[in-house]
Structure 1
Amino acid sequence: MSGARARLAAGVLGWLLAWSAHGEIVLDRTRLIYPAAVGQVTLNLSNEADNPRLVQVWIDAGDPLVRPEYSDVPFTVTPPILRMDAGQAQALRVAYDGEPAQGGVEQVYWLNVLGIPPQTDAAHSVQFALRSRIKLFLRPPLLPGRAEEAAEGLEWRLPKAGTLHVHNASAYHVSLTSIVLGSEGRQYRNDDPPMLAPRSSAIVTLHGAPGQASGVALVHFTTLDDHGNTRTHVANTVQ
């Protein structure tokens, strides 16, 4: 491999690792719930690498490519930049500093944690910055219903062969992780379903689904709760 191609390959690999969901700087949760009525929320980081890391933390509104200095969100993270020794833990404070949260529905943002290793003088060494990214859910006060009940209220339909229509009538996001449709003794699934925004609908493709949709079917699906735990649900399709 030529020097130019080697540098290109290393650059591509570094870009991929930079977007990894699992890094050496570990968060104490997989999602962050922010009730808008509270002053701030706290989460903890730990450095599980065997040497120090420079850590940068920021929040974006959904675009993973936006640079931290250009991210326009109503949050402040303290500290935004810090140094963490091997084995060290650090608390982060996230404060909402926008207008009073309104709109009657939950909103979603993303919290980013980038761990940068120290420079090395070793010849031919390649170093990568690893980035973790988790959802931050902002909940305005007095939302109708409860977040833990949103998944049970989903409405499922079979609009046409090979697809499943799902509607979320709640004020909360529902993070689907798998869907299995049981019909006429067979099962058809989707293991990468979307996250459903509040009061929205989605069409889910079912792998291996029959050419003719059945009018009688049962949906087994899993979701993630506020703590990142998997919950299992069963629902009937409606006509």
Structure 2
Amino acid sequence: MMRRSIPVFLSAISLFVTTEAFASISLSATRVIFDGSRKEANITVRNGGQNVLVQSWIDSDLAENTSLPFAITPPLARVAANQQQLLRILYEGGGMPIDKESVVWLNVQEIPQASASDANILQLAVRQRVKIFFRPADLPGEAAKAPAQLKWKLQNEGGQTLLKVNNPGHYHVSLADLEVGKSDKAELIIGATMIAPGEDRTFKLKAAPLSLSPSLRFASINDYGALQKFETTVNFQSMSSATPAEVQDQQ
């Protein structure tokens, strides 16, 4: 039985490696910032491998049949090896909220051409998905200042310690590595999440903080994909806001 399973396992590994080899496209940005005062935004698809077809579309986290006032051109394009293709994201001019930032998703799917040399090669269509942040014209405030505007507080409900956060601003805040407590004994609350404009979010702490005013640290991903650290202290009496620390590498 063991001898028969080894070839099957090795075959599975070879298929995985073959599949990975076809993931040849990359995008010029990790997110798209759509300025609502303009009618379009652009992103570039780069092909570092073999000739591929690139299919692109826009959707949201809502129901699949939700109609969005966006179009992308070209929706289907052939991109030769070591070439690139500009994708234009077009906005109809209406249909999105005008009092806050919204998020939809850009999907870019790579479809490798069929291999004529080996009919047994497994080929998969690899999809990349990035956020499009749509910012209405004349939206108050600045996206870069939104992380420092988050309001944090501890709360006890039924013996459970909770960390609450409110986003009073007009922009989404993308968080990474949210933790509470001393650096050497900090509890990682969540690895990554996004707080929407006007949203209230609650996180459960595994244990009550050793201090009545424990430190809170998180990183926020800015428009350019860079991480900026923020820190503050939180307590049970009042809301607190974090202050920026330092900028790190792009994500």
After TM superposition, is the score higher than 0.5?
Answer: yes
Quickly say closer, same or farther: Cα 1:62–1:100, change in 2 above 3 A.
Answer: closer
Structure with higher RCO (Cα < 8 A, 6+ apart): 1
Choose from 217, 222, 229 the match for 1:220.
217
Q: 1:198 to 1:218 in 2, by over 3 A?
A: same
- Residue 211 of structure 1 and its aligned partner are, at CA, apart by 4.0
Quick check: 169-178 or 119-128, which moved more? 119-128
Residues 1:155 and 2:151 are matched in the alignment: yes
Name 1:126's counterpart in structure 2: 122
Question: What secondary structure is seen at the aligned counterpart in 2 of 1:159?
Answer: strand
CA–CA distance in structure 2, aligned partners of residues 89 and 132 of structure 1: 16
| 1:81 match | 76
Contact 2:68 2:95 in 1 (8 A): no
Q: Which string of whole-angstrom CA distances, capped at 9 and with x for unpartnered residues, describes residues 88-135 of structure 1?
A: 011111111141644411000000000000112413221011000000
Structure-1 residue corresponding to 2:245: none
Change beyond 3 A, Cα 1:211–1:180: closer
Tell me how many residue pairs correspond in the alignment. Answer: 220
Structure 2 counterpart of 1:204: 203
CA RMSD of aligned residues (A): 3.0
Which residue does 2:230 correspond to in 1? Answer: 233
C-alpha contact 1:168 1:198 (8 A) present in aligned 2: yes
Report the CA distance shift for 1:71/1:133 in structure 2 as closer, same or farther (over 3 A).
farther
Helix, strand or coil: the match of 1:148? Answer: helix
Shift of 1:184: 10
Question: Which one of the candidate residues 98, 104, 110 is aligned to 2:105?
Answer: 110
Change (3 A) 1:100 1:131: closer
Q: Which has the larger radius of gyration?
A: 2
In structure 2, distance between residues paired with 1:114 and 1:230: 27
Q: Is 1:176–2:175 an aligned residue pair?
A: yes
In structure 2, stretches of 5+ residues that fail to align are 2-7, 238-251
Deviation, 1:23, is: 4.1
CA distance in structure 1 between the partners assigned to 2:107 and 2:123 by the alignment: 19
1:47 paired to 2:47: yes
Question: Aligned partners of 1:101 and 1:141: how far apart in 2?
Answer: 11
Q: Does the C-alpha gap of structure 1 residues 76 and 162 become closer, same or farther in structure 2, counting only changes over 3 Å?
A: same
Hey, what does 2:32 align to over in structure 1? 32
Deviation at 1:187, TM superposition (A): 1.4
Which of 82, 90, 96 aligns to 1:95? It is 90
Are 2:142 and 1:146 aligned? yes
Checking the alignment, whether the CA contact within 8 Å between 1:61 and 1:72 is kept in structure 2 is no
Say whether the 8 Å CA contact 1:219–1:234 is kept in structure 2: yes
Provide TM-score, normalisation by structure 1: 0.81
| Rounded Cα–Cα distance in structure 2 between residues aligned with 1:213 and 1:224 | 29
